[in-house]
Chains A and B, each alone.
Chain A
């Protein structure tokens, strides 16, 4: 996990009411956002949500239809990509195929017209940082996917940008390499003190990398927060559903007190008691979201009358570290429950077609009004 301490005082990028239209299509819809110095900010969303367009506007490849972008206090309007204090790592890496690794990395410095020895020294240092020293003379097509990714990173970092934009940085890597590279990226970011803006559709990637995540949907930012905020306190049905897996039940508010609420969920065949207040109209239609790992399964009947229900085990998926249970409630609804496999011997485990009781803590459900 990265050091999720961000100096919130130092705003580095400011996006003010930025909209981007392509013909009739609104790719980015009045987005306002602040990104702080030294943080890893992830733009997370499905394909076509506008995250890449937003990133390309930061890089200067697209210009906003409305609104403005300030980087380090400077309005970026009319400033071409080659004059911005920003570098980007492309999803396809966009390595220059006719140049060696060293030449690729040196490209940015050569554009600045630095001396040959200075360039050589800095390229050498950078290649050491990304552990590619011995590959300096290779051409991109002679490298593996992971090595190319590191060349792309080295090339983007060589000019010591204050802001690095990464478009799906780990998208082309296989799972093992991704995990390794994620931590490498975080280490590098801390070591160099660069502000990262990462675009990804992979929530796991966003969770591990980011100090803050901006979830995007249909061109809009729907929630901004730390990975914990986004996961544990989603602000809308969309976010709750998009991040991780969740069991969501529609219900009606029956009791609304400052210290607690009660929600009647017919599908759940239970009343949900939540031990904090919410802001919603009385008797409002709300959704209750409960994460699969926050539900307990037992064979024995529970004394409680609230926050519990029962059903039959329909499906068990053994994942090694944990098992996923699909339980069919009496209403017919399937509920997903994950149980960590803390014991090696499976004698006590719940099996197919068993009648089970489900329960959760009053602090676990998230009540969603939008």
Chain B
């Protein structure tokens, strides 16, 4: 009897532990997503709540009727503005991700090879910027990059340039902003991967005639692939939908999708089109996530002995 109770408790306990994150995801992801998904098939309406109901009761036929509007998605495909913004966002995010990787990999590698005490200090320093408001840090870049900002003034004073450079409101400024803000998201997963590497593998490679450079490309780099993939996704996904950095530092003639989304929601108050943009963005981001999951599953199977 006691035994049965215990089994029941274990069963219930397990379900409870797994259930909490599921419940969380249901409440804060699945339901809002379905609402947005629903709105994306609706019409704009000048009165509250801003969009027409999808389902209506038709008295004559005694039935519920769903009236779906696909024109919001048609707008996305027809209007070159949207396609251009999507492509531009992907381009900016992709370049920023590559830059993050190029800057972050050596840093993560150096930290992982440090003695443990210094390692923790460096990790602290990587996380330290998070203690200041994100918005504030992006604002600070305006002060650095603007025409009479710190960078231009220093270069002028040193006589390296005669004319101030146009740094602010360019793609360059957006890359700087994104790389600066998202670098920790690249470094941390890379570090946690590199730190676990078995260094005797490098000795084995050296023993078999591989120089340190060759060992890096044959052994360390392939083995750090899971870290690279995780870091890239953690940078790429939020970078595609980035709104604050391009609006503060970016070009005014070329918008990113996050800015368009916000303009549709708050400026034009066109919730159905804004929702369609959000759904399209999500689907676009789902592809790399699914690729990552498949990769992870394969890695997991490979790690199992």
A residues in contact (CB < 8 Å) with B: 59-61, 80-83, 86-88, 90, 92, 94-98, 107-108, 111-112, 139, 141, 155-156, 159
Contact = CB atoms under 8 A, between A and B. Distances in A.
Interface of B: 198, 200-201, 203-211, 214, 218-219, 222-223, 302-305
Contacts of B210: 82, 107, 111
Given A111-B209, A141-B302, A155-B208, 19 more contacts: A61-B206, A80-B211, A81-B207, A82-B206, A82-B209, A86-B207, A87-B208, A90-B200, A90-B204, A94-B198, A94-B203, A96-B204, A96-B219, A107-B208, A107-B210, A107-B218, A108-B208, A111-B208, A159-B208
A83 B204 CA distance: 13
Contacts of A111: 208-210, 214
Contact of A94 (B200, B211, B222, B305): B200
Contacts of B219: 96
A94 B302 contact: no
Nearest to A87: B207
B53 to A, nearest CB: 55
Contacts of B222: 98
Contacts of A141: 302-305
B206 A80 contact: yes
A159 B209 contact: yes
Q: Which of A81, A87, A159 has the most CB of B within 10 A?
A: A81
Nearest to B205: A107
A139 B302 CA distance: 8
Contacts of B211: 80, 82
A112 B207 contact: no
A78 to B, nearest CB: 15
Contact of A82 (B200, B207, B304): B207
Contacts of B198: 92, 94
Q: Which of A61, A92, A97 has the most CB of B within 10 A?
A: A97
15 contacts: A59-B203, A61-B203, A81-B206, A83-B209, A86-B207, A87-B207, A87-B208, A88-B203, A88-B204, A94-B200, A94-B204, A95-B204, A107-B205, A108-B209, A155-B204
A139 B304 CA distance: 11
B223 A97 contact: yes
A82 B211 CA distance: 6
A90 B223 contact: no
Contacts of A59: 203, 207
Nearest to A141: B305
Contacts of B302: 97, 139, 141
